[in-house]
């Protein structure tokens, strides 16, 4: 099938922040061959868009936006209590989670309701409520943007870290993810209830022996109660990463804020929730023009309607400066700024 490149297209429907910028050229691709054809159109630069849930547009885009709409979900192998599932990069992540829960396949339920597409998931190694993509990941298929060749990446080759992978670093812009293979359990599911809120939500619902569906529903309930729905209020989830610092930094903060929350890391350092730091600096629920820090989770910046990307970025700069001045910690953005 031939591809159709459109010109001067509003990106408003294609980014969850709801920023109204234009792309000079735009194409939706449904197959690997179409992806190769799009790459060879000669228009540059190229930006591949998944769900648009981790990007803040601050200006019009001059090159070609390729909307990755490669969509399939199939079981490719079953053995012992495992099923390997291949999913096209264009599938909505939560659609894959729902499909897995419906088919009694375990491993994705803690990552319910994360916005974005399957193809974007490995780029920042998405995670929530004690589970990350890397915990179920087998491999992925990606196309080299320069040559159009397809290659496979193993778990090791993806070099996953906390909201991090090789696709955010050494290979940034060099590959387009086409499909992702995950390994799910068909029975004897390994449930992960370690994250406090999940256990609490389940016991409040009187569920003592939860299954994967119960966990998925609990996670959806928690997320809906804390995080704004992009269909109602534009946002990209966590705007910043939770900073990792030395113990000395934490101990310093403890002198003035004895109840600062923190999570120990394997290397002896600690992670401090960015939402807490931002809240302490007085930003939580504060509105600045058409943007602000969300009242129920300070780490999420929102578009109340009509905000420009510049406005949101400026607010994030102010927050970074304020946290830096108060705590001596430099917050890093999780969202990509374009």
- Judged by the rule CB under 6 A, the positions of this chain that interact with ligand EPU are 128-129, 226, 237-238, 241-242, 261, 273, 275-276, 279, 284, 297-299, 334
Is the CB of residue 252 less than 8 Å from the CB of residue 272?
Answer: no
Considering the complex, state which of residue 60 and residue 164 has its C-beta at the smaller distance from ligand EPU: 164
The token pair at 251 is 């101990």
13: how many CB neighbours lie within 10 A of its CB? 9
Least distance from ligand EPU to the Cβ atom of residue 186, Å: 26
Considering the complex, state which of residue 35 and residue 275 has its C-beta at the smaller distance from ligand EPU: 275
Least distance from ligand EPU to the Cβ atom of residue 303, Å: 15
Distance CA 221, CA 218 (A): 5
Considering the complex, state which of residue 18 and residue 275 has its C-beta at the smaller distance from ligand EPU: 275
Distance CA 123, CA 114 (A): 14
Considering the complex, state which of residue 39 and residue 198 has its C-beta at the smaller distance from ligand EPU: 198
Residues belonging to the active site: 163, 238, 334
Least distance from ligand EPU to the Cβ atom of residue 149, Å: 32
How far, in Å, are 123, 195, 225, 259 from residue 66 at the CA level?
A: 16, 37, 33, 46
Least distance from ligand EPU to the Cβ atom of residue 330, Å: 15
249: how many CB neighbours lie within 10 A of its CB? 18
- Please name the residue ranges forming H helices in 143-243: 155-158, 196-204, 212-226
């Amino acid at each position: 099938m031939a591809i159709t490149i459109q010109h001067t297209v509003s990106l408003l429907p294609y980014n969850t922040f709801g920023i109204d910028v234009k792309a000079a050229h735009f194409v939706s691709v449904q197959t690997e061959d179409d992806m190769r054809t799009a790459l060879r159109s000669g228009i540059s630069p190229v930006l591949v868009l998944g769900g648009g849930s981790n990007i803040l547009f601050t200006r019009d885009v001059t090159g070609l936006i390729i909307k990755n709409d490669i969509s399939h979900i199939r079981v490719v192998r079953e053995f012992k209590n495992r099923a390997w599932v291949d999913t096209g990069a264009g599938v909505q992540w939560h659609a894959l989670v729902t499909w897995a829960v419906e088919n009694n396949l375990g491993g994705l339920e803690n990552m319910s309701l994360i916005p974005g597409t399957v193809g974007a998931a490995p780029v920042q190694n998405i995670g929530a409520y004690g589970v990350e993509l890397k915990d179920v990941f087998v491999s992925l298929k990606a196309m080299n943007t320069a040559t159009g060749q397809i290659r496979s990446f193993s778990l090791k080759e993806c070099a996953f870290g906390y909201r991090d992978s090789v696709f955010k670093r050494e290979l940034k812009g060099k590959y387009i993810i086409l499909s992702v293979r995950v390994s799910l359990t068909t029975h004897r599911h390994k449930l992960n209830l370690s994250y406090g809120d999940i256990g609490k939500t389940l016991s409040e619902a009187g569920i003592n022996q939860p299954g994967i569906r119960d966990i998925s529903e609990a996670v959806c309930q928690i997320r809906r109660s804390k995080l704004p729905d992009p269909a109602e209020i534009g946002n990209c989830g966590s705007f910043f990463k939770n900073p990792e610092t030395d113990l000395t930094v934490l101990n310093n903060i403890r002198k003035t804020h004895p109840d600062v929350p923190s999570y120990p890391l394997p290397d002896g350092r600690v992670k401090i929730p960015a939402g807490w730091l931002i809240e302490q600096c007085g930003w939580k629920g504060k509105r600045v023009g058409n943007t602000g820090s969300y009242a129920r989770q300070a780490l999420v910046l929102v578009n109340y309607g009509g905000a420009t990307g510049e406005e949101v970025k400026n607010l994030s700069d102010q927050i970074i400066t304020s946290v830096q001045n108060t705590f001596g910690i430099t917050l890093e953005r999780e969202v990509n700024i374009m």
